[in-house]
Amino acid sequence: MNVREATAADEPTMLAFTEAIFAENWDRPWGPPEVTPKMFEGKLALLAEDEGEPVGYAFGELDSVGYAHVNIVYVVPERRRQGVATALLAAFGERAREQGIEHLTLDVAVRNEAGRQAWRRLGFTEWAQRLTVPVERIEHHDEHGESYASLHVQSDDLEAVQAQVDKYLPRLGGSDGRVEGPRNGWVLVRAELVDRDRRARERLASELSNATAAVVCAISVDDGVVVRYVLYERGSVVDEYQSVPEHFGPLPPGDVVALGANPTVVSRLTGAEPAEVRAVARTASSPDQLPPADELLQQLAEVLGLEGAGRG
């Protein structure tokens, strides 16, 4: 296998490789950049070949302040785990050393556990964490308060739930999951990630429901003003409630109605009285038209039989 610096003649190959890796791995909150030859301008691009056939590439920046950043390393699927990525990084590092650069950096998604393990095997260590937030949320940050949540697994097998939390929470970028109970037939799950990341919270709830074949309820206060629950059965959403349906953005009328809770489904899954669910699971266009979020969450938790819901 040979690793060499790419030329203009190699651009079609590198563009095709870039399209392939974006299609396979892109999971950032924003869309991928336009794939054009301009993305390689001013950067070091290396191509790995085997008997003249391209099998992978890497490109990135050699920075004069003391480090080189690798933007992408890609290896065609049939040649993975055969040392191609290692050879590309070694060549990249050699070019960096020639310019007096001592360190390589790269980015990897927190949910890409396989990728993180691969980079660790090559000696990379974590020294920072890149965070993201929608601009709109930052602009209105002062209007929002604390978010907190808990997951409730309808089971009396604490050890089984703990095992699944230990399995799935790190894959979502979380750690230090706390499992308690059972309380009133539910095992309680808490984690910092569950509090702050609504999508990760609901992904974990789905995984726990699927893995344990149990009903799972994710219940939360988001931004200090909106109360939300999602009920899962065998990994699928079967009912949702959100006290202010359009808090996170405008919705079609049918979706607004769908976030109003289904007392019949709730009763089947939790044993709650349908009339009590209707009385408590109220919705409004503004939080001001409802009880304080902390109070509303506690009312819902009592009706659903979820002991321990609320702040951890």
Give the torsion through C-alpha atoms of 258, 261, 265, 271, to 10 deg.
Answer: 170
Give the tens place of pLDDT for each residue, 23-63.
Answer: 988 877 788 899 999 999 999 999 999 999 999 999 999 87
235 close to 257: Cβ distance less than 8 angstroms? no
Q: From residue 272, give the alpha-carbon distance in Å to each of 202, 268, 306, 312.
A: 22, 8, 11, 24
Q: What is the DSSP letter of 97?
A: H
Which pLDDT value is given to residue 138? 55
Q: What is the pLDDT of residues 293-304, one digit of tens each?
A: 999 999 999 999
Which architecture does CATH list for 2-121?
Answer: 3-Layer(aba) Sandwich (3.40)
In this prediction, residue 132 carries a pLDDT of: 75
Helical packing angle, 158-168 and 198-212, nearest 10°: 130
What are the residue ranges spanned by the domains of the chain? 2-121, 142-304
pLDDT tens string, the chain, 312 residues long: the values are 899 999 999 999 999 999 999 998 887 778 889 999 999 999 999 999 999 999 999 999 987 567 899 999 999 999 998 999 999 999 999 999 998 898 999 998 877 888 888 888 888 998 887 877 666 655 554 456 789 999 999 999 999 999 999 999 999 988 888 999 899 999 999 999 999 899 999 999 999 999 999 999 999 999 999 999 999 999 999 999 999 999 988 888 889 999 999 999 999 999 999 999 999 999 999 999 999 999 999 999 999 999 999 887
H-helix or E-strand containing 16? Answer: helix 11-25
Nearest 5°: the CA angle 148, 167, 238 is 55
